[in-house]
Every structure is written in structure tokens, then in C-alpha cells.
Amino acid sequence: MNLKIKNALISVSDKEKLTSLLKVFKKFKVKIISTGGTYKYIKKQGYNCLELSKYTGFKEMLDGRVKTLHPKIHAGILHDRNNKKHKTEMSTEKFPSLDLIIVNFYPFQNIVMRSKNPKNIIENIDIGGPTLVRAAAKNFKNVTIITSKNDYKDLAHELNSNKGKTSLNFREHMSAKAFGLTSYYDAMIANWFNKSLKIEFPDRKTIFGKKFKQLRYGENPHQESSIYINDYDDKNLGLKQIHGKELSYNNYNDLFTGLEILESLKGKNVTVVIKHANPCGISVNKIPIISLKHALSCDPLSAFGGVVACNFKINKKIAIELSKIFLEVVLAKGFDKESLKILKRRKNIRIIDISKFKFKNNMYIKSFSGSFLVQNRNDKIVKMRELKCVTKLKPSKKEITEIELAFNFCKYVKSNAIVLCNNSSTIGIGSGQPSRVDSCKLAIQKAKKFQPEKIKNSIAASDAFFPFVDGLELLVRAGVRTIVQPGGSIKDKEIINYANKAKIRMLFTGTRNFYH
């Protein structure tokens, strides 16, 4: 059912693009009612407008907190045009119908980003705007609600196509958008309060997100996908794409893993190679290009078509090294001109500057069929003082630094995880195996294939305890001479005895690092 727009109420803090609509309203003789600031703007543009206080006969009060909260306004929006009782009541009160509501809210999220003053933030929680929107959205059969300047063009098209009327289909779609906005707005406010009060797990958890991009497809071509920003700054991710095709779902999944690892190793020159959201090479080195070479040499076969993440600036030498292998994405803290010339020779490679990326959210969420799991991000970094040597042979201070790195590398590998390290770099990674023994076999197999000379005297890190001696036996036979693991198995004594007989070093961290 198409409905004629006779009366419109406009109350917007952002007046951009409004003039284009005013021309259409004049064409179809739409009467405009508006609040203070918007009223002045419309009049200044040369269009007729009735100020809200004159329409209601009631001046706004309490510094503008009460202006649209009036029976004449909400009755005009909410009454059912086909209900005889409603018609009689409206006629008795001499309340006209309001057919179109155009509203955007106080800029709460912008104030949160700019101010740390709670009083200022709370003052910018809009009450009248969301109330108008909810009322109009509920009564979409009779009222058109517009909450975004991006929909002005579609509204103008509706009016021009339908001779001043809007279709039911259009009104219903705008209603869905409107309720999406009010829930988003309320969720931002609820999350601000929870954060201020340090409530991480409230009784009711609301997650807000603004669509950043529609992705070409999801994890597989038959799946649809989009990426959303869950932050008050919902305009960008802090990732600047310099070159290449648009990022895919899998690209994002991989690069987020890379960023997570870089964050955990701040203050060091780090290179991470990611494939299918699993690291297939990590290296820390004072010299960036050596860090890159060591990370790539861990598993060059898996690195093909992967993502490389670096927390340093890319220069010409590093770019030449990167160009030797096919990569989907390169992340770095800046690129000099020469490096960009070299990397851009590959048409499809995505080049991303992460200089302005910052971690803002400490929560991880997984959803499944009407429920979701929420947990803190695993940001615990095991330090030297937390390592407990349980064997007769003790590591040196230099070796302890290597052991610390190996265990912290391991936390980003899918469980069950075994990581072999030498010289602050991974040399073999066993990931995602249901059996820890299989993870040991895989890590050893990878190391033997690509860097067999580095297995001798290497360090093995395990994300959880060894339930039996079998995994240790494999590692020791391969040449591993130091093992770091959480400990906590009922077989710990047996495992420590084996380590002593094998004359290896073993350290317990007391921290488990499952990652699924």
C-alpha cells in the first residue's frame, strides 16, 4: 500500500545531503516540522518550515532534553490510520498525522572517542531521537522512517516514482534499518557503561558492529560474508591497503592471526608467515631481513600463497626477498618507495600498512546456532621468572630467553601444538592434531624436510602437558635437548624421570595455551 507523505518531522544533528530532499518535499508540497537547529538550517536554505515548539505549543525544556517527547508528536506517529477509535481520538485532540520522520542521533560514539569526561559523554546519550525512531519504525505500515543520510537518495526516488508516496516494501525496509540503528546505539552505550564499571561478562551481552565491507565470499565460494567493525571508530580498521585486490574472508582471517602474534612480541623485530590462520614460520632477529629469511625457511612450501606480517618497515632488500615467493598479503609498518616499486610488480598482491593499527578489544567471540561463547583474549606472555626447571640439567640465561620465545610462539598454533625452535626462530611446527604424538611427528617431519641441521639441540614447546612419555621419546630421538611445557599431568614424575635419563632440560610454565 502506497501512502502519501503530507507531514514530515525532521530532527538531525548531521545536516549533510538534507538540501537534496528539501527540493523534493517542495515539489510534492510536504509540510515540514523541525527542531531548533534543523529548523534554522532549513529556513536558511530558503524552504518553509514550522518550528516544533510552535507545532506542539510547548517550548523545549531542560536544555533540550525534552522537546520531541510530546503527545501531539507521538500520537501523530503511532496512531493506526485504519482504526476508527484512533481516528476519533486524533480528531478530538486535533492532532494531525505525521507521515515521515527523519532523525539521526546525538553523536555519542564521536564524543566517546574525543572525550574522557563521563558527564559530557552521558549528556550525549540521545533520548528523544531513538524514541521517535522506535515509534515510527513500529508503525511502518503508516509511517516512513529515515535514519541515515545515505537513504535520502532512495527516499527521493520513492517519492518521485510514486508521485509523493512511499511503498509498504520501502517503509518496511527502512523500519528494519531503524531498529538496527537503535539496537546498535543502545549497545554502544551499554558497552561504554560496562567498560567504565569493568564488567566484562554482564547478564546481557550486546555486541555492536557496523558493516565495513561486503566480501566477495566467505571461507568458501558458496558462503556469503561481510566484515564488521566493533568499535566506536567504525570508519576504518587501522589497516591501510596500498595495493592489490580487495581482501577476502580468508585474507582477513590470516592477517588477524599475524597481527595477534606481532602484538605479543612488541619491541622486537618479528616476521610471521601465516597459512590457513596457522603460523608456518616465526622469527625474531635484530636484523629485519634475517628475521624474514628465517621465518620463510621454516616451511617455504606452506609459505607459498600465504600472508607475511612484519612489525618493521620494508626496504628494497626485504622487498626483493619477498618477491621471490608468491604471497597473498604483505603486512608491515611502512614501505619505502623502492620496496613498493618492487612489490607492485605483482598485480594481485595485497600490500597493507599496519603502522596505525591498534588492538582495542580484549574479547573473543564464537557463535553457534543461537548461542555464543565469549572469553578474554589470551594475552598472557610467559616470562622468564615463571619458568620452573624440573630436571637436573639447567638452561643458561641465554637459553632461557630462547625457551620463553618458543613457548610464546606455541600459543598461536592450533592445538594440539608442538613447535621446534632454534636461534629465536621456528624450524618445525606441528599444528591442529587430535593427538599430541602426531603433532610431535609433524613438527619433526617439517624440520627434517627443510632445516635438518637445526634440529640438534633445538627447543620443543608444547601448548599443553604431555600425558605420556611417547611424544618426548620422538622429540629426544630427533635431537631436541630442551622441552618447555605447562606441566600438570598425573604422569609428570614419570615424564621428568625420562627427561633426566635422556639428559635433556625440561621446564614447566604452569600456563596452558590451548588454541582452537
Place of cell 546525538: 106
Is 173 a catalytic site residue?
A: no
Annotated active-site residue 79? The verdict is: no
Which of these is catalytic: 138, 313, 316, 333?
A: 138
Query: Pick the catalytic residue: 87, 165, 245, 276?
Result: 276
Strands 459-462 and 418-422, bridge-based pairing: antiparallel
Residue 3 in grid coordinates: 501512502
Give the pLDDT of residue 104: 87
* Start-end of H helices in 352-421: 397-410
Element (H, E) at 123: helix 118-123
Q: pLDDT under 70 in the chain at which residues?
A: 61, 63-65
All structural domains of the chain, each given as residue ranges with its CATH number in brackets, are 3-196 (3.40.50.1380), 211-353 (3.40.140.20), 384-508 (3.40.140.20)
For position 215, what pLDDT does the model report? 95
In angstroms, the CA 479 to CA 468 distance is 19
User: What's the rounded Cα separation, in Å, for the pair 26 and 137?
Assistant: 24
